[in-house]
Amino acid sequence: MRDFETVEVTTDLLIIGPGMAGSGACVEAAHWAKQNNLTITVVDKAAMERSGAVAMGLSAINQYQGENTPVDYLSYVRQDLMGLCRDDLVMDISRHVNGSVHMFEGYGLPLWKDDQGNYVHEGRWQLMINGESYKAIVAEAGKTAVGIDNLYERVFIVKLLLDKNDKNRVCGAIGFSVRENKIYVFHCKACLVSAGGAVHVFRPRSTGEGLGRAWYPPWNAGSSSYLTTTAGAEMSSQEVVFIPGRYKDGYGPVGAWFLLFKATATSASGVNYMAEGLSEGGELHNWAPYGEVKPIPTCLRNHLMMQKMYSGDGPILIHTDKAIAKLAESAPNEKAYKKELKKLESEAWEDFLDMTISQAVLWASKDVFPEEGPSEIMPSEPYFIGSHSGASGAWTSGPEDLQTAESKSEYFWGYNRMTTVKGLFTAGDGVGNSSHKFSSGSFTEGRIAAKAAVKFCVENPEMPEADPGKIDKLKQDIVTPLEHYDQHHAYTTLGAVKKCYELPVEEVNPNYITPKMAMFRLNKIMDEYVAGWGNQYNCSEMTLNIALQELKRLKEDLSKLAARNLHELMRCWENIHRVQIAEAHTRHKLFREETRWPGYYYRTDFPKLDEKNWADVFVNSVYDEEKDEFQVFTRPKHSLVNIREVVGM
């Protein structure tokens, strides 16, 4: 048995995951905590300066309201999610997000400005930034606000702790250092989980030398969902993944190309599939009313692309060359034209260098000149990311002032963004049905949640207490994969290895399973049976039930995970987190008997929208950890605003 020291930390508010939402939470919580003499503790599995989805930077802030109203934004979001979102949550972020963006500028984030000093818009809601250091700038503000001594970096949180007298009250969290033999036990009055979405649940398109490359950051492994679900929180819309259309292999984002550079995409034979879909008699009319209003919903843009690809008219090409030439053509003379061309070319490269460096590297290594020819784009593997164009996450209380008489009893229980577990808050990718908040909206939601969490601490001043027996059991569970390796490594095809990169991972041992093998198994199950790219995003009752059987077997084997060192121990726990969201997702997909988001997934046994039965309900679930059982059910959608009247749908 390797020796592990236990470090105990007691605080009022614990923030798990200082990414975009968590950084916003730090800034806001610090302000309110100071006024109330409360302490805040922050914990990150990585180094906060470059952790989370914005580690590589971003080239745009995707949610800025400007002069638009919250109802304008709501109409866009609800349409994009095929009619399903929580109006109260979306409008709540919308009304506060401008302030967050102005805070970023105050922290020193360079936003593009035109000659008159106005922000440069990528599209109606998006602003261009020089954002390579976006996360570092925002994290610095968060760290300064809470104080560096209150930040624990490189500590992976494994599980939340519940009050020994009230199973529905959070009282802390337990995790381990990924650098030293230390287990951390945090005790708190309230906890905010903002540990991002999930990647590598589905098989990525990247293989071989590119294996592991994904659009979303590989280190977001479903912890928000796992931590809240296993604490007993009600979850929502776990069936709604996000599949981004991206530049092939490097996963470079397309937003700047479509919105700023006004590029068009075509099938291999040159069909502008989006225009075709919108035209009279086109495919989008089959998905009315959502398909008939611009902008075309994200899933339907994918759907049109997939239809071409899978009918043999692929690959899909984005015409970067034509877009650049068109933008430059208004130049008054040859010299100005050349100058403009150079500027556009460098902006094109910067778009990727600011947020997806690998795409720029791939372009360079493959001699791609965006001004000279088109590039391939493709739908990626599915991700869980409630902050972008997906919707999965926890079911949370919303703001009181935005409720109607009908919605209040369902959508409000005291504290904004509190889950159904007392004292447990979430934000960003952690919140369900509050889509299209992106980096700026996640930061804003973190602020909203943190303010409410501090209020909770003030109004619930007693310190809850975890069961010491449960803590001891968790301590043992955490290190079990190391023990498996120590006990059984001699009985292997490879013999004893201490360094994780020393030898390949294809280790065959009848006594244990390595984290990479477990992930490969999960990826295969999800890809083949739960609508991954390998099955052209198709699933049915039969395939989903097969997946549940396979996941059951995988869960049994997870108890045999083995880790050679602390880094692999983290990989083991990441996969345990991933499998939880995989199962929840499969069960939600099975429950919703329709195809509501074509282009994200197709229920081949229910291939159409079913407006009568499914347009006005969210699919929710609660997990009972002791019984290892899910209860899946619906919750009503309450529309606070009649969008159809507003936008004339």
Residue 298 contact among ligand SFD, ligand AMP, none, beta carbon within 5 to 8 Å by kind: ligand AMP
Structure tokens given for 304 = 């049109």
Position 22: which residue type?
Answer: G
Interaction mask 188-217, ligand SFD, x per CB under 6 A? ------xxx------------------xxx
351, 381, 507, 550: the catalytic one is: 351
- Answer yes or no whether residue 244 interacts with ligand AMP by CB under 6 A: yes
Active site (annotated) includes residue 80 = no
Give the shortest CB-368-to-ligand SFD separation in angstroms: 19
| 289: contact with ligand AMP by CB under 6 A | no
Q: Is residue 635 flagged as an active site residue?
A: no
Q: Which two tokens stand for residue 139?
A: 């994290």
Minimum CB distance to ligand SFD smaller for 62 or for 267: 62
Q: Which does 32 bind (CB under 5 to 8 A by kind): ligand SFD, ligand AMP, none?
A: none
- Buried b / exposed e across 469-500, counting CB within 10 Å, b at 16+? eebeebbeebbbbbebbbeebeebeeeebeeb
- Chain centroid to Cα 304, Å, comes to 24
Q: Is 303 a catalytic residue?
A: no
**Token pair in block for residue 541:** 């009752």
Chosen from ligand SFD, ligand AMP, none, partner binding at 157 (C-beta under 5 to 8 Å by type): ligand SFD
**How far is residue 67's CA from residue 70's CA, in Å, rounded to a whole number?**
10
Q: Does 62 bind ligand SFD (CB under 6 A)?
A: yes
Q: Which stretch binds ligand SFD (CB under 6 A): 439-447, 473-481, 556-564, 603-611?
A: 439-447
Instruction: Give the count of residues interacting with ligand AMP (CB under 6 A).
Output: 13
User: Which residue blocks in 206-297 are alpha helix, DSSP H?
Assistant: 223-230, 255, 273-278
Task: Give the sheet arrangement for strand 424-426, strand by strand.
Answer: 151-152, 40-43, 13-16, 190-193, 424-426
Which of 152, 258, 533, 618 lies at the binding interface for ligand AMP (CB under 6 A)? 258
- Candidate ranges 229-237, 293-301, 553-561, 614-622; the one touching ligand AMP (CB under 6 A): 293-301
Contact between 110 and ligand AMP (CB under 6 A)? no
Options 14, 42, 46, 418; binder of ligand SFD; rule CB under 6 A: 46
DSSP string, 282-350: -GGGGGTTGGGSSSPPHHHHHHHHHHHHHTT-PPEEE-HHHHHHHHHTT-SSHHHHHHHHHHHHHHHHH
Q: What is the rounded distance in angstroms from the CA atom of residue 378 to the CA atom of residue 359?
A: 13
Which is catalytic among the residues 23, 51, 59, 62?
62
Closest-approach residue to ligand SFD (CB): 19
Rounded least distance, CB 249 to ligand SFD, Å: 14
Q: Which residues pair with 335 in a beta bridge?
A: none
β-pair partners for 28: none
Q: How far is the CB of 114 from ligand AMP (least distance, A)?
A: 19
Closer CB to ligand SFD, residue 46 or residue 146? 46
Is 351 one of the annotated active-site residues of the chain?
A: yes
| H/E segment holding residue 173 | strand 166-177
Q: What's the length of the chain?
A: 649
- Closest to ligand SFD by CB, 471 vs 643, is 471
81 binds ligand AMP (CB under 6 A): no
Of 110, 210, 295, 534, the residue at the interface with ligand AMP (CB under 6 A) is: 295
**Nearest to 13, CA basis, from 41, 51, 43:** 41
* Contact call for residue 259 and ligand AMP (CB under 6 A): yes
Residue that has been written with the tokens 């998905």 in this structure: 287
- Is 73 a binding residue for ligand AMP by CB under 6 A? The answer is no
Q: Cα(433)–Cα(415) distance, rounded to whole angstroms?
A: 17
Please identify which residue in 255, 289, 314, 534 interacts with ligand AMP, judged by CB under 6 A. 255
Determine whether 246 is an active site residue. Answer: yes
Distance, first Cα to last Cα, the chain? 65
Contact (CB, 8 A) for 554 and 579: yes
Return the range that interacts with ligand AMP (CB under 6 A); candidates 253-261, 406-414, 420-428, 567-575: 253-261
Note whether 375 and 315 are within 8 A (CB): no
Which of residues 52, 70, 253, 481 is near ligand AMP by CB under 6 A? Answer: 253
Binder of residue 258, out of ligand SFD, ligand AMP, none (CB less than 5 to 8 A by kind): ligand AMP
Given a contact cutoff of 8 angstroms between Cβ atoms, the answer to whether 143 and 28 are in contact is no
Residues 123-182 that bind ligand SFD (CB under 6 A): 156-157
Nearest to 194 by CA among 208, 177, 163, 173: 173
Nearer to ligand SFD, 222 or 532 (CB): 222
CB 287 within 8 A of CB 307: no
- The residue written with tokens 């477990």 in the block is 518
315 binding ligand AMP? (CB under 6 A)? no
Interface positions, 338-367, toward ligand SFD (CB under 6 A): 355-356
Q: Kindly identify the residues of this chain, within the stretch 366-405, that bind ligand SFD according to CB under 6 A.
A: 387-388
The nearest distance, CB 548 to ligand SFD, in angstroms, is 25
Closest CA to 273 of 305, 320, 318, 298: 305
What would the two tokens of residue 429 be?
């990718």
Give the footprint of ligand SFD on this chain (CB under 6 A): 16-22, 43-46, 51-54, 58-62, 156-157, 194-196, 215-217, 220, 223, 253, 255, 355-356, 387-388, 428-429, 438-440, 442
Give the catalytic positions in this structure.
62, 122, 215, 246, 351, 388, 439
